[in-house]
Structure formats: structure tokens, C-alpha cells
Structure 1
Amino acid sequence: MFGGGGMNPRKMQQMMKQMGIDVTEIDAEEVVIRTGDEELVFDGAQVTRMDAQGQETYQIVGEPTTRELGAGDDDAAADDGGSDDAGAADAGGVPDEDVRLVATRAGVSEADAREALEDVDGDLAAAISELE
């Protein structure tokens, strides 16, 4: 970022502090960036916040996975005010696509799959594990 090259990290931090730049590591579990048509999801990313002269800058280091907009968890559906994309999840509590996936993987009926998903709050892996 500043071209520190082979500079000692402690020395770099000292110089940044002298320039009024405060750097903080954030213990983030997940970072989601929503664009117009997709979401970039960083699980276990390294996140750094830099505060320089009242301007905060965030740096994310990690490999994102991409998912379609609206395919996120229940929090994402609540954030957009319950858009039409999340309609199946709102009506039945669990998206139909998740029900079909669990039913196929576990070899059970969709009714059993939906019940298992509701018991584990929509956790696909836990529902499949419970049914196997």
C-alpha cells in the first residue's frame, strides 16, 4: 500500500502512527459485498480498518465465493425488506431450492427435508446429517 518493501512491520506501524494513521485488525467472520446482480462472500477473510484524518478505509484479504443476489441467508432477506426473490423463504420459512437439495442428498421426501431444515434453522449440512 505504501510500498514498504522490506521494511520492518513494527517500523512501518510506527511511521503510520506518526502520520496520524491508525490501523486496526477486525476479527470478521464473514464479509458480504452486494453488487447489482451478485454477492461476493468472504468467509474467514482478513479485514483491516485504516483511519487516516477521519477517513476510514477497509481492506479485505481473502478469496470470495460468488452467489446470486437474494440467495443469501435470512439476514440478507430481512435487509432488503423481503424482496420477491426471497418469497419462497418467507412463505414457508425455508427456500424450496434448499428443501429439494436436502431431499435429494438425503434420499427422503420433501416434507421430511423441510421439517429437518426447520428444526436446524435452515442449516443444509445439519439437516442432511440429521436425516442420514
Structure 2
Amino acid sequence: MIQYSLICESEHKFDAWFRNADAYEAQHKKGIVTCPICSSGNVTKALMAPAVARKSSDTVALSSGHPQQAELRAAMKALRDKVTAEADYVGDRFASEARKIHDQESEKRGIYGEATREEVTALVEDGIDFMPLPSLPEDRN
């Protein structure tokens, strides 16, 4: 897995994970790499700083006082709401349904549901594109 820092034409910065560099390029060419804040498909790789080891006491999370925190949370919720409104819920059959769609044994459509860690690993290894729905802190209340 590889993580890229990305930026859209509106200068929204975000990170995304890909199976490898080729997976990023393929998804980018298909136009499915989009900004989670404004949905722009005009996305490029941002300059990335090298990872530097830190002491655990140096770790800082995006606090509720951060100016973009509310905007990011709203965008994540909007993305999740759009997917759940427009896609079919398949429950714990997600991995098998994703594989059927990938193998063209089932109609191409948006789906969402649950998958085990092992099922997710197998989908990634087989090059089947998917992404997790955003999870928000209020979901755990």
C-alpha cells in the first residue's frame, strides 16, 4: 500500500491510499480519484514531506478547534450519505458481490456493506477497487 498526499484545483489537500503507484495512475486516468471536500476530479499529487520518526508525546490529532475540522467532517458525512443513498446495501456479502462485479458476473453498480479483514486483503491483492466509507466520531456514540 502507498499513501499519496493529493490536492485538488480548489487547493483542498487530502491523503489517499492505493495498492501501488500503478493503481493510483489507473484510477487517476479513469477519473475516479476525486476530492472528498468538493468532488473535483482535477486532482494532482501534492508535495510530500518525508516521514520523520517522532516521540509518541509529539503526536497531535486534528483537534475540534482546527479551522478545517468541521468542513472535513461535513464533507466526509456528505460522501457517506451520497454513497448510501445511491448504492445497494449488500451487508456481509460485500466481498463476494464486489468480486462478481469485477469479474463481470453481475451488473456494474455501486454497493456497500461489510467485509472481514481477510476479505479486504484478498480484494486488494486481486486488484479489485473499493474504498471504505468514512467513519465519523459520532458513529461510535
Instruction: Give TM-score scaled by structure 2 length.
Output: 0.24
* Higher relative contact order, chain-length normalized (CA < 8 Å, sep 6+): 2
- Structure (1/2) with the larger strand percentage: 1
Instruction: Give TM-score scaled by structure 1 length.
Output: 0.25
